[in-house]
Amino acid sequence: MSLPDLFANRTLRMSASEIRELLKLLDQPDIISFAGGIPDPAYFPRDAFAEAMDVALSEQAAGVSLQYSTSEGYTPLRAWIAQHMAGLGVPCSPDNIMITAGSQQALDYLGKLLIDKDDTALVGWPTYLGALGAFNAYEPRFDRLDAADNRAPEEIAEAAKAAGGRVKFAYVSPDFANPTGVTLDMTERAALLARADALDCALIEDAAYQSLRYEGESLAPFLAMEIEAKGDIEACRTIYLGSFSKTLAPGLRVGWVVAAKPVISQLVLIKQAADLQTATLNQIAVAHVAQAVFDDHVATLRDVYSTRMRAMLDALEEHMPEEVQWTRPEGGMFIWVTLPRGMDGKALLERALKAKVAFVPGGAFYADGSNANTLRLNFSMVTPARIHEGVARLGQVLRAEG
Ligand code: PMP
């Protein structure tokens, strides 16, 4: 007997994330890495967290903060989130909110909630790799749904039926998506919402980067548009995922789900069975810090990251060969580069590493591994001077390719 022979079939679909494997190689200081996808630790609100932890661990408070608490999440944190959501045009009550261990946990729970084997999950082409990984464990079939795909909903539903299941949800990140940095405009949002209506499926709105806008006006979340159209969150198919990872700190693992109450009640049962609750102390600390500094802190991040984004856009303009294209995001952490057809991001990475610059090859972000001639560049972790140097190196590697 060998233990791996006993592993469940679902594990056959799990493979190490290319990004995580890569990040292991990038500790060398002379490599300029655009491969990350994480906030700059220099800007964590450390003092605010130290103060919040002190309060939470005081003699009067420790009995609560070190204790078990409810699966729904810490009530004052849910109240803060309800207010934050109202500011985004999403009137909801704390009963429409469940706290999760980051939005990654919400993706896993939604896979568990919605996917039977061979059901269809509609995703962007490309989409967030971590969402593909989370859903994959529930053995779905992936199909495409994005602004560039104009198949009739009936055709998508037929294909799902032929594969032995039905379309359960569309997963979309409307603002500064990972990996492309692209934002859907209001027409595209309305069209996708109408398609979810026509398919009668859930719409999972991943808003991980929503607060990190550097240019242009904030656009209404799907959930806000749907509440406006249908009058009440209880009539909505959108399930909104928020996270404090990109605004405050990812290490505390605090995110949230907003949805109609029956969805929240079922997710609470899933959470009870999975991990009982998100860490009480972390939720209390995040509630304190959010109340004290959220807006100011996000303003600081916008300043820092927008300078880096502009530096990268300028550097691309200066150093990329003519035939290379890239997105021009209005926020977030990423720029998506498309190389001439026939070029391969992975092969390019090997040569780029020799020139001491790194990125993530784009093929991993496609459910079918297609479009290998793409790359994801991260700008949140690199200072403007190093961005210029790194993009210059990348330009040289590309020119050497001929
Ligand atoms: N969604 C997207 C689009 C992301 O980029 C990430 C993190 N890279 C997550 C969800 C998960 O983040 P967290 O679990 O830290 O909230």
Q: Whose CA is nearest to atom 4 of ligand 1?
A: 208
For the segment 356-380, the average pLDDT, to the nearest whole number, is: 92
User: What CATH number is associated with residue 67?
Assistant: 3.40.640.10
Q: Where do we find the tokens 């398609």?
A: 195
Q: How confident is the model at residue 379 (pLDDT cuts 50, 70, 90)?
A: very high
One domain, residues 15 and 53: no
Write out the DSSP string of 326-395. E---SBSSEEEEEPPTT--HHHHHHHHHHTTEE-EEGGGGSTT----SEEEEE-TTS-HHHHHHHHHHHH
One domain, residues 271 and 325: no
Global pTM reads 0.96
Q: Convert the pLDDT of each residue in 47-61 to its tens digit.
A: 999 999 999 999 999
Q: Convert the pLDDT of each residue in 113-167 to its tens digit.
A: 999 999 999 999 999 999 999 999 999 999 998 777 788 999 999 999 999 999 9
Closest atom of ligand 1 to CA, residue 209: 3
Q: Which domain holds residue 166?
A: 47-292
One domain, residues 210 and 343: no
Ligand 1 residue neighbourhood (C-beta within 6 Å): 37, 102-104, 128, 130, 173, 178, 206, 208, 243, 245, 250, 255
Cβ atoms of 166 and 153 closer than 8 Å: no
For the segment 83-88, the average pLDDT, to the nearest whole number, is: 98
**What is the structure's pLDDT at 81?**
98
Among candidate residues 292, 313, 337, the one where a domain is terminated? 292
One domain, residues 261 and 299: no
One domain, residues 248 and 132: yes
**Structural domains in the chain (count):** 2
**What is the structure's pLDDT at 364?**
86
One domain, residues 227 and 319: no
How many whole angstroms separate alpha carbon 262 and alpha carbon 254?
22
Q: Identify which of 102, 101, 171, 99 has the alpha carbon closest to the alpha carbon of residue 131.
A: 171
Confidence check: pLDDT of 402 > 70: no
Q: Record the tokens describing residue 160, joined without a space.
A: 């799902």
Q: Across the chain, what does the average pLDDT equal?
A: 95
One domain, residues 228 and 330: no
Distance 171 CA to ligand 1 centre (A): 13
One domain, residues 7 and 57: no
Confidence check: pLDDT of 1 > 90: no
Confidence check: pLDDT of 390 > 90: yes
Closest atom of ligand 1 to CA, residue 38: 8
Ligand 1: residue of 81, 135, 243 to mutate (most ligand atoms within 8 A of CB) is 243
Q: Whose CA is nearest to atom 1 of ligand 1?
A: 208
One domain, residues 38 and 101: no
Q: How long a stretch of residues is the chain?
A: 402
One domain, residues 8 and 113: no
Q: Whose CA is nearest to atom 6 of ligand 1?
A: 208
**What is the structure's pLDDT at 367?**
85
One domain, residues 119 and 167: yes
Question: Which residue type does 139 have?
Answer: E
Ligand 1: residue of 178, 210, 381 to mutate (most ligand atoms within 8 A of CB) is 178
Distance 19 CA to ligand 1 centre (A): 13
User: What CATH number is associated with residue 314?
Assistant: 3.90.1150.10
Among candidate residues 242, 261, 292, the one where a domain is terminated? 292
One domain, residues 169 and 199: yes
**What is the structure's pLDDT at 203?**
98
Q: Convert the pLDDT of each residue in 311-346 to its tens digit.
A: 999 999 999 999 999 999 999 999 999 999 989 998
Among candidate residues 261, 292, 323, the one where a domain is terminated? 292
